[in-house]
A and B are shown apart, each in its own frame.
Chain A
Amino acid sequence: MNRLIAGALVVLALLGALGGAAATAESEAGGRTLYLERCGGCHLKGGFATRVLARRVPAGQAELEQREALPAAYVVSAVRHGIGSMPQIRPAELSDADLAEIAHYLDKSS
């Protein structure tokens, strides 16, 4: 491989990595926006769900964004089936793609 081609590949790889990071940041921003818009009515500070969860989860983790661990699969299941006093949210009102973004945003390990 000559140096010119090798250099070009390094640049491309760097651009790719930067593009990936930008895409991830964009996805997280989208997930957060969706979370605030679609879940915020209940799950932000002072919301009904936050009040209910404060009695059920460790201190300081009642807001979903503060939860130490919230696997994406768990979020998807809770949303689609309902959990506790939370009604299920159906695909016609929250698409699988939007739900996946929200779940990804809340999943700290992802």
Chain B
Amino acid sequence: MMELDSVKLERALQLFAGIVGEEHVWRGEAARCAYKDAMPPRDPMSYAPQGAVAPASVEEVQAIVRIAAELGVPLWPISRGKNFGYGGSAPRIAGVVMLDLIRMNRILDVNAELGYALVEPGVGFDDLYHYLVDNGIPLWLSAPAHTWGSVMGNALERGVGSTPYGEHASKVCGLEIVTGTGELLRTGMGAMENSDTWQLFPYGFGPSWDRAFMQSNFGIVTKMGIWLMPEPEHTLTLTMNLERIEDLPAGIDALRPLKLDGTVQANPSFGNVVRSLAMRTPRSAYYKGTGPMPADILEQARRDAGVGHWKFDIRLFGNKRVNQVNAERVREAFASSVPYDFVESEWNRGEPLRNSGSPLPSLAALGVVDWLGGPGGHLTFSPVSVFSGSEAWKQYSIIRGMYEDAGFDYYGGFTAGQRYLNHINMIVFNSDDEEMIVRANRLFRNLIETAARNGWGEYRTHTLYYDEVAQSYGYNNGALRRWNEAVKDAVDPHGIIAPGKMGIWPRSYREARS
């Protein structure tokens, strides 16, 4: 891997300090410690950065990029750095300077009538939630399991939430980007001076580029439009526990037509028993042995906790009468498929938001990393599955078997898109147990290879596994990867923005490697 020249690095940091102030530049150990992967599957210092700079404005980002381009100093942009399980605030390689955008935290616009927000990278889900509530704006955000992270960062990484707007990438409308040469670019209708439809019409004129800046290193996104859901007048939640492992396919097949025709617009997630138990208490409450929990002990733990082998919520949002009609359709579909009843609850506008389906600020989900007693590390493996019970079952059976052969509990679930399932599963390990970490990494590499052989691609992965996953998208001798790198060389000619992100390496790195 290419080293960063220390003289050049110091020169860059001095110039960056002239732009943002010395107090927003960090060097050496301070930078390495601040931006290390907090839940690492490898020695975190082996891929910690050599410096960091935190600008507060677009103009400062442009000035930093121009200097970085001139000196050939690579930058690794992050928004808030809370993408735990996928690398957190850490870069792919050590030889970079972090471009920390957390100080750019303005909510620039919220339009209650048209249902959108325009935000900077540092705006967290908590920030946007409080802004909407404090100002009495009748819009709901969609958020992932924990709300510490960036609204923009999560959407650009194609994160998922649990409202009808839960496929966050699909709700992005209009980006502002600083290019690898320090130019400022706006996508879609933002390319027109004084356009008033930047956050309304996502396509613009000619090629649409928003999606090219998601999970990519083609530019640094400094503003993002995101659609927000009008507050519903009513929500109706149907919760079901499937008591047998083998009930999963029937549950998935019952849900598919309801997702496809729009009866269910949110993204229900079938979470397995370990996922349910880990939210409550560490594993030692049930089992103190090593290796995966024996089936009889897991079954007893499940019964004691009153959870299913699979648990899911189907939440309906909108008009009360429509929700009641759709709920009846949901009940009918599942009654003919599985022998369980839904537990139901309702929320009406004006009532406290708890249990409404509006994501409330919470970090509770982080608690699951303590499943093995901690300190908790985790690697998240996230292949996409066909929305079919038999295909999901095949994927689950193979992957669960691999977890257990490697000595881990299978922790995971299937989150429903409209035509696909995100099979998000997690290897939880203790980050101070070297033997366990070796096993976790071996399992992760085997999962990528096995998935690729079966035609299952990951929708997202840890920074350290970008290359392996990108390689699995190898159709026609890696045509897509070669295309991505051709674009990279064209739009970032100095190769300074996030080298190696998603397996996309600038020309200089490819040449050094070969």
Contacts and interface: CB of A to CB of B under 8 A. Distances in A.
Interface of A: 41-42, 47-48, 51-52, 55, 80-85, 87-88, 90-93
B386 to A, nearest CB: 35
Most central of A81, A85, A88, A91 by chain B CB within 10 Å: A85
27 contacts: A41-B126, A41-B148, A47-B364, A48-B363, A48-B364, A48-B367, A48-B370, A51-B370, A52-B367, A80-B34, A83-B375, A84-B375, A84-B376, A85-B366, A85-B374, A85-B375, A87-B82, A87-B88, A88-B34, A88-B36, A88-B38, A90-B34, A90-B81, A90-B100, A91-B30, A92-B103, A93-B80
A5 B338 CA distance: 91
Contact of A41 (B26, B33, B54, B361): B361
Interface in B14-47: 24, 26, 30, 33-36, 38-39
A84 B38 CA distance: 10
A52 B82 CA distance: 20
B34 A92 contact: yes
B197 interface: no
Interface of B: 24, 26, 30, 33-36, 38-39, 52, 54, 80-82, 84, 88-89, 100, 102-103, 126, 148, 282, 361-364, 366-367, 369-370, 374-376
Contacts of B364: 47-48
Contacts of A52: 367, 370, 374
Contacts of B376: 84-85
Nearest to B378: A85
B363 A88 contact: no
A93 B123 CA distance: 11
Contacts of A51: 367, 370
A8 to B, nearest CB: 41
B38 A82 contact: yes
B130 to A, nearest CB: 10
Nearest to A93: B102
Nearest to B26: A91
B147 to A, nearest CB: 8
Contacts of B361: 41
A96 to B, nearest CB: 9
A55 B367 CA distance: 13
Nearest to B364: A48
Contacts of A92: 24, 34, 52, 54, 100, 102-103
B282 A55 contact: yes
Contacts of A55: 282
A93 B122 CA distance: 9
A20 B206 CA distance: 65
Nearest to A52: B370
A45 B282 CA distance: 18
Given A41-B126, A83-B375, A87-B88, 16 more contacts: A41-B363, A42-B363, A47-B364, A52-B370, A80-B33, A81-B33, A85-B369, A85-B376, A88-B36, A88-B38, A90-B35, A91-B26, A92-B52, A92-B103, A93-B80, A93-B102
A88 B33 contact: yes
B35 A85 contact: no
Contact of B34 (A48, A85, A91): A91
A47 B369 CA distance: 14
User: Which of A82, A83, A92, A93 has the most B CB atoms < 10 Å from its CB?
Assistant: A92
Given A42-B363, A52-B367, A80-B34, A87 B39 contact: yes
Contacts of B89: 90
Nearest to B122: A93
Contacts of B375: 83-85
Nearest to A41: B363
Nearest to B367: A48
For B30, B39, B361, B364, the residue with the greatest tally of chain A CB atoms inside 10 Å of its CB is B364
A92 B24 CA distance: 7
Contacts of A88: 33-34, 36, 38
A48 to B, nearest CB: 4
Nearest to B361: A41
A35 B31 CA distance: 24
